[in-house]
Amino acid sequence: MVKQKTGNTRIYVVFFSSGFQGECRIYLIYHPDMKVMKNQEILEKLKDKCEDVEFVGEVELVKPEEAILNIKEQKEDLDGLLVFGPPPDELISVGLPVVAVYPLWGRWMPPFDAYEENKVVTSCLPVIGDRDPYVYSLRVEDIARKVKLIDAIARMKELKVLVVTDLPLLGYFEPMGLQIERSREEYERIYLDGLEETFGTELVPVPQEELFEKMNETEDEEARKVAEKWINEAITIRGTNEAEVLKSAKLYLAMKELMDEHSCGAITTEGYGWPGFEKGFLPSQGLPSSQFCTDGIVATSETLIDSLITQQLGLYVTGRPSFNGDYIIDPLNNIAIIGHCEGSFSPYGDGRRVHYVIRNLPLMEENTGGACVQINYPIGETVTVAKVSIYEKKISVFTGKTVCGEELFPYWDDILCRTKVAIKTDAKALFENVDWRTFGNHRVAFYGDCRQEFKDLAKLIGFEVVEKDKIRH
C-alpha cells in the first residue's frame, strides 16, 4: 500500500542553557569525577530513539531572540520545536507544537511551568544523571515519547483518505442529527476547515458505483485466494458460506486497488448497505476492513471520519491497530460496551493474533450480504477508549479493563454487533459525562494504557481533553 510519509519530521532544537547553573559550580570541585551531560550527548540519545525525526537547529547556546528569528524564517519547513529551557511567549506564539524540557540543576525553574492553554507539553531532564540510571533513561524516554507525538501529527499532514460515498464527504452515519447545530452544510464546512487547519489530511471522495464496478471486475481466482486465507485462519464459519466470503474478498481487492489508484493510505466506506445506490449492493466490508487494520492500514466503516482520525493518530502514536464501534454505557454493571462487525486480528500490533469467527451481518438473512467477523478480543486487559472531535476541537478519553461479556448477558456474541468489547470502568461517571453532540455514537478502543499520550496529543494540537471516567465537580 501507499506509504504516506515522504520525508522525515523536522523538529527545531533550542538550548537556552548548558551544564550546571553558576550556583552549582562547587559541585564539580567536590565531585570532579561526576559526568555533566553535554547538549550534543542529550541530542544523540534522542536521535537514537526517534529514527524518523530530523533534528535541526543548534546544540550550542542561543539567545531567545536569535532562536525566534530562525524559527520564524523556517516555520513552513518545521513540524515542531524541542526547547531546553522555558520557551518565550513569542516562540510559543509561532504556533508550532512544542516539547519544553526543564534542565534540572542547569537553571532556576521560573518561569518554566505547565503552559496551560498553549501547544506545549513538558518534561524534565537533569544535567547530571540520576543515582538510578533507569530513572534517567525514563526521563529520556519521556522526551522521546513526546517528540514522537509531534511526528504523529506531522505524518497526518501527508495522509490521504479514500472516502467512498455518494453523499457529501462526511457521509451517512456521522454527524448525527443532534450534532448539527444549524445546517449540515455549515457543519461540514467548519469540520473540513478544522481538519485542514489541524492536520492537513486530505479526503479523496469516490462514488460507491466506482467501488462497485471495480469489485465486479475482480477475478474470481484472485479473490478466492483471499477468501480461502480468511476461512483457513478462522475458528469456524457461522451463518454465512464460502460464496459470501468470496464477495467480501472481491470487495477487499477492489478497495485495495482504488486506494492505490488514488494514492491513499487509509479508507472509509459507507456501511453495510446504507445508503444504497441504483446499480447494486456492496457486500459487507467487515472482513476487508479487518484485513486492512490487521495489516496496519486504517479502514473505518460507515464513513466515520472522526473515528478514522482517532484510529490513525493512535496507530502512529502506539503502533497498535484499534477497534472502532458503537458506544453503549451500562451504569449498573459498571461497563462500557463498544461493538461493530470488524476489527484488527492483531490488536497488539506486534504479530500476536486473536481468534475470530466468520459470520453474516446481524441485520442480514443467513448466507446473504457478504461476511463479517466476530473477533474474540482478550479479556482482563487494560484498554484506552478515545474519540477525536474535529468540529468541537476536543478529545475524549477513558481507560478500563476488558471483561467477559458472556458472563453479563446470555449469548453475548449474538446481540447486535458481531464483535464487542465490554470494559469495566467508572460507567456512572461515563454516563454523567456522555456528550453525544460532540463525539457522536462511536468510540475507538486501543489495547494498552495510552491515556497520557492522548492527553499530550490534545495539548499539542490545541484541543481540549475530556477525561470521561472522572466526575466533574
pLDDT tens digit sequence for 114-148: 999 999 999 999 999 999 999 999 999 999 999 99
Q: Where do the structural domains in the chain lie, given as residue ranges?
A: 9-157, 160-467
The answer to whether 267 and 299 have CB atoms below 8 angstroms apart is yes
Q: Are 374 and 357 in contact (CB under 8 A)?
A: yes
Predicted confidence at residue 2, as pLDDT, reads 34
Q: What are 314-368's pLDDT values in tens digits?
A: 999 999 999 999 999 999 999 999 999 999 999 999 989 999 999 999 988 999 9
C-alpha to C-alpha distances, 118 to 115, 196, 197, 411, nearest whole angstrom:
6, 20, 16, 49
> In angstroms, rounded to a whole number, what is the distance separating the alpha carbons of residues 153 and 148?
9
Distance CA 305, CA 312 (A): 10
Specify the pLDDT at position 391. Answer: 97
Distance CA 364, CA 169 (A): 27
What pLDDT, on the 0 to 100 scale, is given for residue 281? Answer: 77
Q: What pLDDT does residue 64 have?
A: 93
10 Å CB burial of residue 108 (0-12, 13-18, 19+) is exposed
User: CA–CA separation, 367 vs 63, rounded Å?
Assistant: 71
Which CATH number is 9-157 given?
3.40.50.2300
Distance CA 469, CA 430 (A): 5
Question: Which pLDDT does position 178 carry in this prediction?
Answer: 92
Q: What pLDDT is attached to residue 273?
A: 60
Q: What is the pLDDT of residue 274?
A: 64
362 in Cβ contact with 416 (< 8 Å): yes
Residue 172 confidence (pLDDT): 86
SS3 of residue 65 by DSSP: helix
Q: Residues of the chain whose pLDDT is less than 70?
A: 1-6, 272-278, 472-473
CATH code, residues 160-467? 3.20.14
